[in-house]
Amino acid sequence: MNEKGILIVVSGFSGSGKGTIMKELLARYPDTYALSISATTRSPREGEVDGREYFFVSKDEFEKMIAKGELIEYAKYVENYYGTPRDYVEKKLDEGRDVILEIEIQGALNVKRMFPDTLLLFVTPPSAEELKKRLVGRGTETMDVIESRMSRACEEAEGMENYDYLIINDNLDRCVEEMHDIIRGEHRRSSRNREFMKEIKEDLERMKHSGKGEY
């Protein structure tokens, strides 16, 4: 049975560790997962390569992609567009790779509306106290920025129930394996295996009526 990949959206609070989890998951299972590459209208930064970090396109090209329905989701930040190209994602899914999109809640729900079979995972630390501790521990942001991120987390928490699974990131190694196990298990969900079930039912009926004692 040729198994198609699953589209997965991973969201989480800033400071939840979702980026670290994604990096480790891809390092452990490079042939299983593909991280979606976004298209953007912003200019490449030093060291960035087209098709690796982003697909770099002009504003006109991006707006044509929107008009043609070639993006799974898109948004505009600081005068630049960012979006997920449909062709790249569908190609990887057809190759049997599970494709991961790391996007925020609103984008995740938009993807789910377009692709109802999308698996939604939400990464959270074990407590609000731990989240603030991690943000402070970064040592890269002012307390005003940290408080702003905590306020944003409070808003994002209202959407957690829309996700299929929560990933509680209290131990990186265990968390990565838990996410991998959830995705592997999702491949066996009956609704994702209708073609297989149809084939085995037909085979059983054929054997039943063949009269050759194949049971």
DSSP for 148-186 reads: HHHHHHHHHGGGGGGSSEEEE-S-HHHHHHHHHHHHHHH
Half-sphere exposure of 117 (CA within 13 A, CB side): 16
Class of domain 7-32+98-192: alpha beta
67: left (phi over 0), alpha (psi -120 to 50) or beta: alpha
Q: Could you tell me where in the chain the CATH 3.30.63.10 domains are found?
A: 37-96
| Positions of CATH 3.40.50.300 in the chain | 7-32+98-192
The pLDDT value recorded for residue 103 is 85
Residue 184 sits at φ, ψ, to 5 deg, of -60, -45
Distance CA 177, CA 40 (A): 32
Mean pLDDT by 10 residues, the chain (215 residues): 85 90 95 92 90 92 95 85 91 94 86 92 94 88 88 90 94 96 93 89 90 57
Query: pLDDT at position 104, please?
Result: 83
Which pLDDT score is estimated for 79?
Answer: 85
What local confidence, expressed as pLDDT, does residue 6 receive? 96
Per-residue pLDDT at 2? 62
User: Residue 8: its pLDDT value, please?
Assistant: 96
Q: Give me the pLDDT at residue 211, please.
A: 64
Topology, domain 37-96: Guanylate Kinase phosphate binding domain (3.30.63)
Q: What pLDDT does residue 213 have?
A: 54
The pLDDT, as a whole number, for residue 57 is 96
